[in-house]
Structures are given as structure tokens and as C-alpha cells.
Amino acid sequence: MTKENIITIDNKEFAFEPGETILEVARRNDIFIPTLCHLKGTTPTGACRICVVDVKGARDLVPSCAYPASNGMIVKSESPAVIKARKNIIQLMLASGNHNCAIRQFEPDEWTQFHLKVLKEDNYNELCPVWGDCQLQDLAYRYQVITKALPVSDSKYPMETVNPFIIRDFSRCILCGRCVQACREIQVNNAIDFGYRGAKAKIVAGADVALKDSDCVFCGECVQVCPVGALVPKETFENKKRFEKSKKVRTTCSYCGVGCQMDLTVQDNKIVEINGAEDAEPNHGSLCVKGRYGYNFVASPERLTTPLIKKDGKFQEATWGQAFELVASKFMEIKSKYGADSMGVLTSARVTNEDNYIAQKFTRSVLKTNNIDHCARL
Ligand code: SF4
Ligand code: SF4
Ligand code: SF4
Ligand code: FES
């Protein structure tokens, strides 16, 4: 009996579905192939070629993210030629801009000492904001890349700091195009694209304006998918996020009823960054501007921490017991004077499903009226 739709990767046979790429089959079977430009769920662009693999009989190495698996195909995920190609690509990327995490300047045995020094001195001005949390840096370590022999390109464009939530550092952009794919195919906003050519190539917003003057809605999808430090949340920049001092906390966004799953980055008991949880429904990594960037209120010193009751025209601090008693007595007073149907409750799409549920329960069971409605019908 002949076997159909079987591919061999690193001497092991795997079944695949027609249309699956080599990368998809490899990932499904826990075989590591590095990627930079590949963005799950979008059209492969084959822009970076870090994912190349050796396919028996092929003239050149092939980009696994864009190459469909075929029956009888024999693949090596890491041959000497593949490793050499990946090293070259990483070297060129590191030399293409300001990748000052120092991996390009040191011999492998000096890396550890340098990084221990950086951790100790924590010099923010020299340290890339995604240091320790960068896919290019990870790959440079993995493949032990040294680029000190290569000239490093000067940055052609200044850092864009005028946007409310996002810093664009063109000097660290590797032109992988993930941000463009995310904006175009996931968010369907089309706010950014490739602009100019050759050495002047740049990701542009509109007619090369600041993000704030373009169609950008600051959803931050592009920031989350950027594999390097070219797109960074402003807060991360200002709060000096340090991966080794922070922890991740999974939670549910409380801005509306969709229930997006998010990972908070918490440092010194303060939220310093929020990312959408890529492995969870319903949002699969996406968030809106509120969920991603609207978290400063959590640690705001202006936040009320105790109920206030107005007496003689001035607010005075009260206990929760006093506050509940006052509110309940006012409802009872209105109800006995004018009847339960003289009251009504309006809720909002901008609260959680649980809040809406409890509001209708309170209205019907406690106030004893069916006058409950929602802003979506106003
Ligand atoms: S973007 Fe990545 S590779 Fe470049 S300097 Fe920052 S940490 Fe290093
Ligand atoms: S923040 Fe959202 S809308 Fe703006 S460029 Fe990025 S993906 Fe596009
Ligand atoms: S900004 Fe980031 S995601 Fe966009 S092309 Fe540059 S490196 Fe890639
Ligand atoms: S990840 Fe495949 S070409 Fe970039």
C-alpha cells in the first residue's frame, strides 16, 4: 500500500494535510524552525528567509513558511548549509541598524560578562527596550553570530516619539513586514506599508506621516508582532521594562463583554505592558486600544479608595456599610413614594457580561422592576 501525504523531516515521517507548509508540519510536530517575517494566519511573504530548510532534490534552500509540503518530500531542518544561511541572515540584520544589545560586537565568550554588567548597571540609555525579549537577539545567541567585522549602517530616520502610545525606532527595524501584515490582514486597517526602496526602505504610515496623523487606530497589533525593538509601547519605554524583573499575569480585559484574554507584564507590582494572549480565545492575541494601553488608572493615585458621601455640599469619607445603607434607603424611599416602575437601570456594552448580568438581577429581583436596558439599544 502506498502512503499518501507523508513528508520526512529530520528522518521522521509525518502526515500532512494538503496545503500545509513545511513549517506548519514541523511546528505541529515540535520541530524547531526559526521565523521572523512569518505571521500565523496571514499570507506568507517569504521576506526574511531565516526559515530556510534543505529539501532533497531542490536547487536552493527553500523558505519553509511559504513552501507547501508534498508527498515523499525529504527535509532537513538544520543542515550545515541551513545553519550557514541563517547565520548570514542574522549577521546582515544585526548590521543593518542600531542593534546595540552588543551581540554584534563581542566574541561568544565575552557575551556573558557583558550581559552580567548590563544587568548590574542597568544603563537605560544604552540598553535596547526589548533587551532579553527580542527574537533577533534570541536567534543571534542560538546561532552564535559575531558581526564585528561587518560595517553597521547608520540610522536614516529619527525615532518617532510623537504618538500617544507607540514609539517607532526605525534604526532597529529589520523590514520583516510583520507589522504591515498584522495591520492589513488581521486588523484590516491598512494604516502602514513598505515605502521607498533599497537602502532607504522604511515602513511608512500613509504618505510617510507620524502614526498619529494616519489611519492608525493604535490597536497595537503591529507592536505585539514586531520581533525586535522597532515598535515599542511608550509606557514600556518610559517605565524601563526589564524582562528579568517582571512577571506575566494572565487575565480577562474588563472594558467590554467580549472577554479578551491578556497577559499583563507586572514589574514592582505595577503593570508596565499588556499583550493579547495568542494561545487563547476569543481574541488570539489581538486587543483594542483600550485593552492594550488603557491601564494607567489601575495604579493612579487619584483613584477613589473609599466611598464618599456628600454632607453639607462636601464629600466626606464613609465606610462601605454607610454607603450601602444610604443608597438602599434612598431606593426604598423612591419605591414607596412612586412605585418600583418609577425606577430604571441603564447598563453598558463597555462593562463585562458579568456586570450586565448582575445589573439585571439587581433591577428585577431587588428593585422589582423590569425597567432594565442597555446602551446598545439607545
Ligand atoms: S532590537 Fe533586538 S537585536 Fe536589536 S538591539 Fe534590540 S535586543 Fe538587540
Ligand atoms: S497600531 Fe493598529 S492600526 Fe496602527 S499601524 Fe499598528 S496595527 Fe495598524
Ligand atoms: S517595524 Fe518591526 S514588524 Fe515592522 S517591519 Fe520593522 S521589524 Fe518588522
Ligand atoms: S519566516 Fe519564512 S521567510 Fe521569513
Q: Rounded to an integer, what distance in angstroms lies between the CA atom of residue 157 and that of residue 154?
A: 9
What is the share, in percent, of the chain residues with pLDDT greater than 90? Answer: 74
In the chain, residues under CATH classification 3.10.20.740 are: 6-78
Task: Say if residue 340's pLDDT is above 70.
Answer: yes
pLDDT value at residue 145: 86
**Half-sphere exposure for 4 (CA within 13 Å, toward CB):** 3
> Residue 226: CB within 6 Å of ligand 3?
yes
Q: Rounded to an integer, what distance in angstroms lies between the CA atom of residue 138 and that of residue 23?
A: 19
Phi-psi region of 168 (alpha: psi -120 to 50; beta: other; left: phi over 0): beta
Beta strand 345-347 pairing with 372-374: parallel
pLDDT value at residue 111: 62
**CA 277 – ligand 3 centroid, Å:** 20
Query: In this structure, which residue's CA is closest to atom 4 in ligand 1?
Result: 99
More confident residue, 376 or 192: 192
Task: Say if residue 197's pLDDT is above 50.
Answer: yes
Of the pLDDT bands very low, low, confident and very high (cuts 50, 70, 90), residue 96 is confident
Work out the end-to-end distance of the chain between its first and last CA atoms, rounded to an integer number of angstroms.
Answer: 66
Q: Rounded to an integer, what distance in angstroms lies between the CA atom of residue 161 and that of residue 171?
A: 13
Pick the range with the lowest mean pLDDT from 125-134, 170-179, 297-306: 125-134
Length of the chain, in residues: 378
The domain defined by 6-78 folds into Ubiquitin-like (UB roll) (3.10.20)
pLDDT value at residue 257: 84
Which alpha helices (DSSP H) does 73-130 contain, by range? 80-95, 108-121
Per DSSP, the three-state class of 90 is: helix
**CA 233 – ligand 1 centroid, Å:** 15
Task: Say if residue 120's pLDDT is above 70.
Answer: no
Choosing from 128, 168, 173, 185 the residue with most ligand 3 atoms within 8 A of its CB, the one to mutate for a pocket test is 173
Q: Which of 170, 229, 169, 230 is nearest to 196 (CA)?
A: 170
- What is the average pLDDT value for the chain, to the nearest integer? 91
**Other beta carbons less than 10 A from residue 349's beta carbon:** 12
Backbone angles phi, psi at 276, to 5 degrees: -70, 145
What is the share, in percent, of the chain residues with pLDDT greater than 70? Answer: 90
Per-residue pLDDT tens digits for 32-87: 999 999 999 999 999 999 999 999 999 999 999 999 999 999 999 999 999 999 99
- Across the beta sheet with 261-267, the strand order is 247-252, 261-267, 270-276
Q: Rounded to an integer, what distance in angstroms lies between the CA atom of residue 34 and that of residue 64?
A: 10
CATH number of this structure's domain 99-246: 3.30.70.20
Q: Which of 317, 372, 312 is nearest to 340 (CA)?
A: 372
**C-alpha cell recorded at residue 289:** 486600544
Q: Rounded to an integer, what distance in angstroms lies between the CA atom of residue 230 and that of residue 169?
A: 5
Predicted TM-score of the model (pTM): 0.86
Task: Say if residue 1's pLDDT is above 50.
Answer: no
- CA-angle at 62, arms to 78 and 7, nearest 5°: 70
In the chain, residues under CATH classification 3.30.70.20 are: 99-246
Query: In this structure, which residue's CA is closest to atom 6 in ligand 1?
Result: 128
Q: Which-ligand-closest: CA of 39?
A: 4
Q: Rounded to an integer, what distance in angstroms lies between the CA atom of residue 199 and that of residue 6?
A: 42
- CA-angle at 96, arms to 94 and 101, nearest 5°: 35
pLDDT value at residue 275: 96
**CA 217 – ligand 3 centroid, Å:** 18
**CA 315 – ligand 4 centroid, Å:** 60
Beta strand 52-55 pairing with 192-195: unpaired
Q: Rounded to an integer, what distance in angstroms lies between the CA atom of residue 16 and that of residue 72?
A: 11
> Residue 38: CB within 6 Å of ligand 4?
yes
> Residue 173: CB within 6 Å of ligand 3?
yes
> Residue 44: CB within 6 Å of ligand 3?
no
pLDDT value at residue 273: 93
Task: Say if residue 312's pLDDT is above 70.
Answer: yes
More confident residue, 180 or 238: 180
**Quick check: 307 and 317 in contact, CB under 8 A?**
yes
DSSP-assigned beta bridge partners for residue 314:
311
pLDDT value at residue 4: 85
**C-alpha cell recorded at residue 299:** 495604579
